[in-house]
Amino acid sequence: MSKLGTRTFTLLQTVTSVGLSALAWAVTGVRPIWNGSKPSDRQRIYFANHASHGDFILLSACLSEKERARTHAVAAADYWGKSRLRRFIAQDMLSSVLIHRQWIDEAQNPISIMLSVLDEGHSLIIFPEGTRNMTDEPLLPFRSGLYNLSMARPDVELIPCWIENMSRVLPKGQFVPVPLLCRVVFGAPIAIAPGEERRAFLDRARKALLALNPRPLRDD
């Protein structure tokens, strides 16, 4: 790609990012609540609950323009890579990192792919439930990725983020958002304690995320 083409493409990505953030603010009036953490230029892994394809757009809209530009959502390749259009939207327009949930060789290893992004100085948005939560439970059990990433890159800050109401704004199978007020609650950083085992850490991380839910669990 020529320098002019690269600049044009980068501009298009920036316009898309700003436009989607503006749309998120217009439709949801999203209000970030910093509860134990604050906006920072520090490299981070934001981990959040997942109930809608719009979750990462809402979370990104709460970040500063500088932080948003270097923060990439991790998304499932089996969904976003199904067609050229979906892949173009996810990778080229939204700068998402596509991973294979059922990988067959080291080149597709999700942890290796995410670590390479972190090693370039970028931040990540991940959904440790591993899939959208379509159940009555407020939060599914966490898969191992969050633990593995933190073990490999302990200096990267882990920030829990509770996304409220997005499943109602953009329900499964819908493409037109419903205007509803939303909040994203950013919690205090967590880290793996010395000697802490994988399951103990994942349970603690899950509880830290659940504790940010602004509504009683029975209303979820």
Domain extent listing, the chain:
3-219
Please state, in angstroms and rounded to a whole number, the distance separating the CA atoms of residues 148 and 156.
Answer: 12
pLDDT higher than threshold 80 for residue 104: no
pLDDT higher than threshold 80 for residue 132: yes
- pLDDT value at position 148? 98
Q: What is the mean pLDDT of residues 44-63?
A: 90
Please state, in angstroms and rounded to a whole number, the distance separating the CA atoms of residues 72 and 123.
Answer: 6
| DSSP letter string, 104-173 | -SGGG-HHHHHHHHHHTT-EEEE-TTSS---SSSSSPPP-THHHHHHHH-TTSEEEEEEEESHHHHS-TT
The pLDDT-based confidence of 81 (bands split at 50, 70, 90) is confident
Please state, in angstroms and rounded to a whole number, the distance separating the CA atoms of residues 150 and 172.
Answer: 31
Q: How many residues does the structure list for the chain?
A: 220
Q: Who contacts 74 (Cβ-Cβ below 8 Å, separation ≥6)?
A: 96, 97, 99, 110, 114, 124, 125, 126, 127
Tokens coding 3: 């320098």
Q: What is the mean pLDDT of residues 73-84?
A: 85
The pLDDT-based confidence of 217 (bands split at 50, 70, 90) is very low
Task: List pLDDT tens digits, range 23-43.
Answer: 766 777 788 999 999 999 999
| Interaxial angle between packed helices 198-210 and 145-152, expressed in degrees from 0 to 180 and rounded to the nearest 10 | 110
Average pLDDT, the chain: 85
Please state, in angstroms and rounded to a whole number, the distance separating the CA atoms of residues 51 and 75.
Answer: 13
Q: What is the mean pLDDT of residues 9-23?
A: 64
- pLDDT value at position 11? 62
Which position has the higher pLDDT, 123 or 31? 123
Chain centre distance of CA 70: 13
Question: Which residues, in sequence order, are bridge partners of residue 125?
Answer: 46, 73
- pLDDT value at position 174? 62
- pLDDT value at position 218? 41
Please state, in angstroms and rounded to a whole number, the distance separating the CA atoms of residues 48 and 129.
Answer: 9
Q: What is the mean pLDDT of residues 45-71?
A: 90
pLDDT more than 90, % of the chain? 50
Task: List pLDDT tens digits, range 183-199.
Answer: 899 999 999 999 999 99
Which position has the higher pLDDT, 94 or 34? 34
- pLDDT value at position 219? 41
Domain range 3-219, CATH architecture: 3-Layer(aba) Sandwich (3.40)
